[in-house]
């Protein structure tokens, strides 16, 4: 009886081994493929990270090299030849070029370039707002005063990051158009704003004094 049981157990074990062998023969490639995909995916991510880091470093080095040119026009050309590694970097590059064009006396080209950044929906909102602000601030001799005013008013909405800077520019437009009282009211509100920086408060205070007004204390 024990011999029969032993024989049955041996046969059963052999059947199990055969089934396991057949299963591994048929499906054993699945875990191997999983390991390959995991290792390959990790290697690909590392490669992408290294490539992005290398591109960013090359881009930064290119900007520094371009800015080393003594001639402003040469700096513009060198910057314009750079390839930015993404929409964010491209926006920053275009704003740098615009700054150089403005320094070179070409405000029209600078404003046009900045407006292109401001209108690019692929660029993060904060970059678009900065570009819009710079375009209007640079465009006193290029853009109509009503266009600049409406642009700054859009940036001066509560909660916007450039709100106070836009308020300052609106006060300057009011001075430009001869509306002294409106400018004083706006500047006095700036001085007591809880979010105003020390630099902006100082500039606003100086303008108030220059306009013959008084600085209100909160």
The DSSP result for 17-73, as a single string, is HHHHHHHHHHHTHHHHHHHHHHHHHHHHHHHHHHHHHHHHHHHHHHHHHHHT-SSHH
Taking 50 as the pLDDT cut, the residues of the chain under it are 1, 7, 218
Collapsing DSSP states into helix, strand and coil, what is residue 90? helix
Residue 172 burial (CB count, 10 A): 18
Q: What is the 3-state secondary structure (H, E, C) of 55-67?
A: HHHHHHHHHHHHH
Position 1 scores a pLDDT of 46
Q: What is the pTM of this model?
A: 0.70
- Reported as a single tens digit per residue, the pLDDT across 105-116 is 889 999 999 999
- Reported as a single tens digit per residue, the pLDDT across 202-218 is 999 999 999 888 876 54
Extents of the domains making up the chain: 37-143, 144-218
């Amino acid at each position: 009886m024990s011999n029969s049981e032993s024989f049955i157990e041996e046969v059963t074990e052999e059947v199990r081994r055969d089934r396991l062998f057949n299963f591994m023969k048929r499906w054993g490639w699945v875990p191997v493929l999983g390991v390959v995909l995991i290792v390959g995916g990790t290697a690909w991510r590392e490669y992408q990270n290294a490539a992005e880091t290398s591109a960013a470093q090359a881009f930064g080095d290119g900007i520094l090299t371009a800015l080393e040119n003594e001639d402003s026009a040469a700096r513009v050309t060198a910057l314009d030849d750079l390839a930015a590694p993404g929409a964010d970097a491209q926006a920053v590059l275009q704003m740098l070029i615009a700054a150089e064009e403005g320094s070179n006396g070409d405000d029209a080209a600078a404003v046009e370039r900045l407006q292109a950044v401001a209108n690019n929906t692929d660029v993060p909102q904060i970059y678009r707002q900065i570009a819009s602000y710079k375009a209007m601030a640079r465009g006193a001799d290029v853009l109509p005063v009503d266009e600049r005013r409406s642009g700054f008013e859009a940036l001066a909405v509560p909660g916007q990051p450039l709100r106070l800077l836009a308020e300052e520019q609106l006060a300057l437009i009011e001075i430009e158009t001869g509306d002294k009282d409106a400018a004083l009211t706006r500047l006095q509100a700036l001085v007591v704003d809880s979010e105003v920086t020390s630099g902006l408060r100082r500039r606003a205070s100086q303008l108030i004094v220059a306009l013959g007004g008084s600085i209100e204390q909160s």
